[in-house]
Amino acid sequence: MSLTGLPYLWQNEIERFAHPDLVWVDTSVQAVKRSYADQVAAAEAAVSGKAAGKVIVSTDPHRTTRVDIPTADHTQSVYVNPYTARVQGQLTDEDRLSSWTIRWHGGVPLNDPGSWAIELFACWAIVLFITGLYLWWPRTLRWGWGVLLPRLRSGKRIFWIDVHKVTGVWISLFAIGFLATGLPWTAFWGKKILKPIQQSMGHVEPRGSIWNFRDQSQPDYQGQPRAAWDVITDQVLAWPDAHTQREIIAPKHPKDTFRAHHADTRATEETNAQYDQYTGRQIAQMKWQDKPWSQKIVTFGINFHEGLWWGRINQIFNTLFVLVIMLVAISGAIIWWRRKPRRSQASGYPLPRGVAWPIPVFVGIVACLMPFFGASLLLILGGLELKRRVTV
The sign one gets for the Cα dihedral 122, 124, 127, 129 is negative
The answer to the question of residue 231 being in a domain is yes
Q: What percent of the chain has pLDDT over 70?
A: 93
* Model pLDDT for residues 294-312, shown as the tens digit of each residue: 999 999 999 999 998 888 9
Domain-ending residue, one of 291, 320, 350: 291
Tell me which of 50, 69, 104 is where a domain ends: 104
Look at residue 345 in the predicted model and tell me its pLDDT.
52
- Residue 356, pLDDT score: 64
Least confident segment among 15-24, 149-158, 309-318, 353-362: 353-362
Average pLDDT, integer, range 11-32: 86
Domain that holds residue 217: 205-291
Strands 282-286 and 272-276: antiparallel
pLDDT band with cut points at 50, 70 and 90 for residue 55: very high
pLDDT at 349 over 70: no
Give the mean pLDDT of 150-178.
87
Confidence of residue 192 (pLDDT cuts 50, 70, 90): very high
Q: What is the pTM of this model?
A: 0.83
What value does the mean pLDDT take over residues 111-117? 89
| pLDDT for the residue 310 | 87
- How distant, in Å, are the alpha carbons of 4, 111, 113, 174, 187 from that of 101? 5, 15, 17, 23, 18
Q: 270-283 pLDDT, tens per residue?
A: 999 999 999 999 99
Query: Is 179 within a domain?
Result: no
Structural domain contains residue 61: yes
Q: Which of 215, 203, 173 is nearest to 298 (CA)?
A: 203
Contact (Cβ atoms closer than 8 angstroms) between residue 226 and residue 281: no
Cα-based distances in Å from 92 to 15, 40, 56, 261, 334: 12, 17, 15, 23, 39
Alpha helices in the chain (DSSP H): 2-9, 11-18, 20-23, 36-46, 97-105, 111-136, 156-180, 195-200, 229-237, 293-305, 312-339, 358-369, 371-391
Arithmetic mean of pLDDT over the chain: 88
Please, which pLDDT band fits residue 249 given cuts at 50, 70 and 90? very high
Looking at residue 348, its pLDDT comes to 46
What confidence category does residue 346 fall into, taking pLDDT thresholds of 50, 70 and 90?
low
Q: Give me the pLDDT at residue 372, please.
A: 92
Whole-number pLDDT of residue 266: 85
Domain presence at residue 16: yes
Sign of CA dihedral 204, 54, 66, 8: positive
Number of domains in the chain: 2
pLDDT score at 341 = 63
Residue 352 has what DSSP assignment?
Answer: P
Mean pLDDT confidence for 81-97: 90
Instruction: Please indicate, yes or no, if residue 50 is contained in any of the structural domains.
Output: yes
CB 321 within 8 A of CB 315: no
Helix (H, G, I), strand (E, B) or coil at 85: coil
Region 334-343 average pLDDT = 77
Q: Residues 133-154: pLDDT tens digits?
A: 888 887 766 667 767 787 877 7
Over range 157-172, report the average pLDDT.
89
Is 232 among the domain residues? yes
Decide if pLDDT at 352 tops 60. Answer: no
pLDDT of residue 221: 65
**pLDDT value of position 357:** 64
**199 in any annotated domain:** no
Count of alpha carbons within 13 Å of 83, Cβ hemisphere only? 13
Boundary-marking domain end, from 291, 325, 343: 291
Is residue 264's pLDDT more than 60?
yes
Q: Report if residue 265 sits inside a domain.
A: yes
In angstroms, the CA 222 to CA 230 distance is 20
pLDDT in the model for residue 342? 62
Distance CA 289, CA 42 (A): 38
Pick the range with the lowest mean pLDDT from 84-98, 330-344, 378-392.
330-344
**Across residues 284-294, what is the average pLDDT?**
94
